[in-house]
Amino acid sequence: MKRLMITGFAPFGGDKINPSWEAVSRLPDRIGGYEVFKCLIPVEFGHAGEIALEKAEVFQPDVILCIGQAGGRAAVTPEMLAVNLRYASIPDNAGQSPEDTPVVPGGDNALFATVPVRRMASAIREAGLPGTVSLSAGAYVCNDLLYTMLYSFRGTNVRCGFIHLPYLPEQAGDRYPSLPLESMIEALKAAILALD
Amino acid sequence: MKRLMITGFAPFGGDKINPSWEAVSRLPDRIGGYEVFKCLIPVEFGHAGEIALEKAEVFQPDVILCIGQAGGRAAVTPEMLAVNLRYASIPDNAGQSPEDTPVVPGGDNALFATVPVRRMASAIREAGLPGTVSLSAGAYVCNDLLYTMLYSFRGTNVRCGFIHLPYLPEQAGDRYPSLPLESMIEALKAAILALD
Amino acid sequence: MKRLMITGFAPFGGDKINPSWEAVSRLPDRIGGYEVFKCLIPVEFGHAGEIALEKAEVFQPDVILCIGQAGGRAAVTPEMLAVNLRYASIPDNAGQSPEDTPVVPGGDNALFATVPVRRMASAIREAGLPGTVSLSAGAYVCNDLLYTMLYSFRGTNVRCGFIHLPYLPEQAGDRYPSLPLESMIEALKAAILALD
Amino acid sequence: MKRLMITGFAPFGGDKINPSWEAVSRLPDRIGGYEVFKCLIPVEFGHAGEIALEKAEVFQPDVILCIGQAGGRAAVTPEMLAVNLRYASIPDNAGQSPEDTPVVPGGDNALFATVPVRRMASAIREAGLPGTVSLSAGAYVCNDLLYTMLYSFRGTNVRCGFIHLPYLPEQAGDRYPSLPLESMIEALKAAILALD
């Protein structure tokens, strides 16, 4: 049985919940051929990646899938790549506001996800759920975490990816798209089953 | 046991499915204290209301709830009112394109829904689904049907309402919000349970 | 020369500016065949209409055009009608939060604008600007004002209408559509020239 | 006097106009300290960059600024980077539909724009227009062109950037944000004046 480490984020930016951890924490412990290890990650540049790497040291995963919130998006969006860039329009939970600094000084400008992004998005849609590939994970802590994972596990057999979730209905108010929690959970399961 | 007639629309405007009938046709035959009668309504000004009135003659419902598609909306939206206005930016399925003509010549400018619209939207949200009250059912066949029902059953005990659904994920493409079919069905159930 | 009274609103809901008054206050004093009288209206249910009626008593306008902000809309939107309904999701500037109370007890459920709404929207588009007809002015103070004007001048020769404006770019942040101030001013001029 | 080459695209995907060329072709021949050379580029993977490079051979520009259409966006968006990826959800004007192939085999995964992207976006906002930085130029011909320019002029003094424009009002219909042509022209001027 293969080992999947899946991460969710704590709330940030004034929100009281983060759909990523709400969904991740409710996943079953086995999905398809994967044993599932869940961990909660702080919304802090740098520290997010450190915690994830510590957990990976313990779990020894075959695949690392990080999940985050992208308020305003209308679909579950597997990310194609991470960029070597940090920029915060609001401070992270440690009060950091980097402005166009690199995640890894001297690292590649961008790293492509090593999970099958197109197939994961297709699998989400085939489950009757909204799923599209995204070409930008932003420059906030989500991107920071994905870049750090891809950089740290480059040249290894550990595959890394990221999936952004829309708002939950309770966060969305009148103006933003949202997706029910149950649908998010189903979308993540579909994406995991498409890993291989 | 009370009697609920619930209607869904046929596809229109180039779409191959209409989420309203997809969801309505999958509802159970009993929901709370209601026996549920489902019927499919054509997307045709005038004819929509005629068919619904014929069905109501047969079913003798206590409540008539009409369901329609509002592509681009991000939530399930119970409608507060219908206006005495027909306007088509695309022809209906009979080729009609009225331009600011009345539904009922001499009728009230608008009629308020006689179901508990705010309570229905709250119930949808309490079920973890996106639900907001809408103040406009448009001026297309959806509004035509709601106006016709409210006008025909004014001064009676038959209560009438309308709920618009977002696109299904398969209709939404990259740019529009959508809601999975299962969530639409749950939202309709929640709204029906809030009727009284 | 005919007389046009045009109103804009004060800021509300935490915003520091209201595009309606920003645009209205910059209009010239003559537009086509109209002498233009501008007035600033408070964002308060009831009081908005009272102030507008006092001003109309002084200006003796042939046409009253009220302008308001509809944050989130992507176009300049002449309103087709007002409904006899007050509902506030945020308190008005006097702290009032009505919940589904009428503007005028016993008044018509809705009143149609008495300016040429479709023609105004077309004129805006012909000027190369985004303009579409709206079927709902909401249930907040904008609708309150339009309903009050239409109700007060029903059966007279005074024609009344309402146009909603999008956010200004400085209000819109990353997620909302907006329109530059100069374009708003041009859109209002185009709509006024389409009055007759 | 410095030399600016600015490019716009031909229409594609069923549209009859492309706001990028509409705006570019109407720019003056001098803006600030720049002599402005305009050229029209085909919407074809590969060929777009070839034509631009031929023109640059002739114009010998100090700065190359490419402009494109991003239908659905609400602001004028200077692009932060280009990715080494081609993907077409609709065929280009030569019928090509690449699926996750590189722009330059063996090239960097991404290249950062060499114009002052944040300053350009600020300048657009200071002009009262909607301007935000974008972290993705997509994977269609716009990105293809920007990547090709950045790759071809890496290690030289020629700086390269890309700005995406929203729809024009006539393209936007009811559902999409748009910006008037005059505002696009003003936004491009503001961005050019912010180059240095």
Chain A positions touching B132 (Cβ under 8 A) are 174
Q: Which residues of B are catalytic?
A: 79, 142, 164
Q: Name A155's Cβ contacts closer than 8 Å, sequence gap at least 6.
A: none
Distances (CA, A) of B66 to B8, B161, D70: 6, 6, 37
From C131, C99, C100, C130, select the one nearest C117 (Cα to Cα).
Answer: C131
Measured distance CA(A196)–CA(C159) in Å, rounded: 67
Residue C64: which pLDDT band, with cuts at 50, 70 and 90?
Answer: very high
Minimum-distance CB partner of A172 among B130, B172, B181: B130
The answer, yes or no, to whether residue A6 has pLDDT greater than 90, is yes
Provide the number of CB pairs (under 8 Å) joining chain A to chain D.
Answer: 41
Chain B positions touching D140 (Cβ under 8 A) are none
CA C44, C49, C53, C56 dihedral sign is positive
- Residue-wise pLDDT for B104-124, tens only, equals 999 999 999 999 999 999 999
- Low-confidence residues of chain D, pLDDT below 70? none
Q: Any CB–CB contact under 8 A between C175 and chain A?
A: yes
Question: Do D89 and B174 lie within an 8 Å CB cutoff?
Answer: yes
Chain A positions touching C89 (Cβ under 8 A) are 174
pLDDT score of C62: 98
Say if domain A2-193 classifies as CATH 3.40.630.20: yes
- Residue-wise pLDDT for B131-183, tens only, equals 999 999 999 999 999 999 999 999 999 999 999 999 999 999 888 999 999 99
The answer, yes or no, to whether residue A91 has pLDDT greater than 90, is yes
Looking at chain D, which subunits does it touch, using at least 3 CB pairs closer than 8 Å as the criterion? Answer: A, B, C
The answer, yes or no, to whether residue A175 has pLDDT greater than 90, is no
- Residue-wise pLDDT for A48-81, tens only, equals 999 999 999 999 999 999 999 999 999 999 999 9
Question: Do A85 and D80 lie within an 8 Å CB cutoff?
Answer: yes
Q: Any CB–CB contact under 8 A between A175 and chain C?
A: yes
Measured distance CA(B4)–CA(B27) in Å, rounded: 12
DSSP-assigned beta bridge partners for residue B126 = none
Q: Any CB–CB contact under 8 A between B89 and chain D?
A: yes
- Check: CB of residue C195 under 8 Å from CB of residue C99: no
Measured distance CA(D44)–CA(D103) in Å, rounded: 12
Minimum-distance CB partner of B72 among D72, D89, D175: D175
Q: Could you say which residues from 59 to 88 on chain D have a Cβ atom under 8 Å away from some Cβ of chain B?
A: 72
Looking at chain B, which subunits does it touch, using at least 3 CB pairs closer than 8 Å as the criterion? Answer: A, C, D
Domain ranges of chain C: 2-193
Chain B positions touching A169 (Cβ under 8 A) are 75, 125, 128-131
- Residue-wise pLDDT for D90-110, tens only, equals 999 999 999 999 999 999 999
Chain A positions touching B130 (Cβ under 8 A) are 169, 172, 178, 180
- Residue-wise pLDDT for C28-42, tens only, equals 999 999 999 999 999
pLDDT score of A135: 98
- Check: CB of residue D82 under 8 Å from CB of residue D114: no
β-pair type (C2-9, C34-41): parallel
